Amino acid sequence: MMRRQDQQSRVFCELSTLILNILRSPPAPIDFSDPSPAMPPPPVSSSRRRAAATTPPISPAGFASLLLGISLALMLCGSVTFFIGFMLMPWVLGLAMFFYVVGIVSSLSMLGRAILCHSNHAVSPASPRKEVPAWKLL
């Protein structure tokens, strides 16, 4: 139980760290322009390198879309979990009812055995007890 709880708290901590790192420094924008492979890339000046190194803080729209993506992922995982539980619930209920019936049958059989064995002992004569010498008890 403790190992599972430690694993869950570790996963939660890693997920929180990942989200906080994304919020602090979002990834660099992706350049979708398609330069010709024959042309070499243009030289990057040092001032442009410094500007790219300091990333701007995340915008409110970016933060909202991040939270929307997180909530959408959680909803999808919850829906899948609900569907699996919904499909397995008849099996679980059937197994519980089966064990309930087995318990009733077992109780009735023990009750019947107790009644039959009790009446069987009452009808048959009791066997005489053997006398054990006192020196064998020591």
Chain centroid to Cα 88, Å, comes to 15
Q: Which residues, 6 or more positions from 63, have their beta carbon under 8 angstroms from its beta carbon? A: 23
Model confidence over 24-74: pLDDT tens digits?
Answer: 765 566 666 655 555 555 555 555 555 455 666 778 888 888 888 888 888
**pLDDT above 70: residue 120:** no
**pTM (two decimals):** 0.36
pLDDT at 99 over 60: yes
Helix boundaries (H) for the chain: 2-24, 46-53, 60-123, 134-137
**What per-residue confidence (pLDDT) applies to 84?**
92
d(CA 33, CA 102): 70
**Contacts of residue 58, Cβ cutoff 8 Å, sequence gap at least 6:** 23, 26, 66
21 pLDDT exceeds 70?
yes
**Secondary element (H or E) of residue 138:** none
The percentage of the chain sitting over the pLDDT mark of 70, rounded to a whole number, equals 63
Residue with the bigger pLDDT between 40 and 129: it is 129
Torsion of Cα atoms, 68 then 75 then 17 then 9, to 10°: 160
Q: Are 49 and 81 contacting, i.e. CB atoms less than 8 angstroms apart?
A: no
* Average pLDDT score over residue span 86-97: 94
Separation of alpha carbons 6 and 3, rounded Å: 5
The pLDDT of residue 27 is 59
The answer to which of 20-24, 44-48, 87-91 has the lowest mean pLDDT is 44-48
Residue 136 has pLDDT above 70, yes or no: no
